[in-house]
């Protein structure tokens, strides 16, 4: 059981790294001069592929945490 959970954790970790790296950057040169006020007050909802990547990141992060807790339980028992 431990080996299966560890294998899933490794797969989820690699997928999480790929998904986070694939997300587009939201910074631009003007935000460093204005302190990012445009991004704070002009926030727009992500759409399409960007929204999918955000949801996938949340799901993979949750699975990562759950698998880590399961592995910790398996190690201690």
49 vs 29: CA distance, rounded Å = 24
pTM assigned to the model = 0.71
58 vs 28: CA distance, rounded Å = 25
**pLDDT by 10s per residue, the chain, length 77:** 889 999 999 999 999 999 999 888 776 555 555 555 555 555 667 778 888 999 999 999 999 999 999 999 999 98
DSSP string covering 37-56, please? Answer: HHHHHS-----THHHHHHHH
What confidence score (pLDDT) does residue 6 get?
93
Dihedral of the alpha carbons of 57, 63, 64, 67, in degrees to the nearest 10: 180
Contact status, residue 59 vs residue 15, Cβ threshold 8 Å: no
Terminal-to-terminal C-alpha distance of the chain: 12
């Amino acid at each position: 059981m431990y080996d299966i959970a560890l294998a899933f954790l490794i797969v989820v970790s690699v997928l999480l790294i790929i998904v986070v790296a694939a997300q587009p950057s939201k910074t631009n040169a003007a935000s460093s001069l204005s302190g990012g006020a445009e991004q704070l007050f002009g926030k727009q909802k992500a759409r399409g592929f960007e929204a999918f990547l955000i949801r996938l990141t949340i799901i993979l992060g949750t699975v990562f945490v759950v698998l880590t807790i399961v592995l910790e339980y398996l190690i201690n028992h």
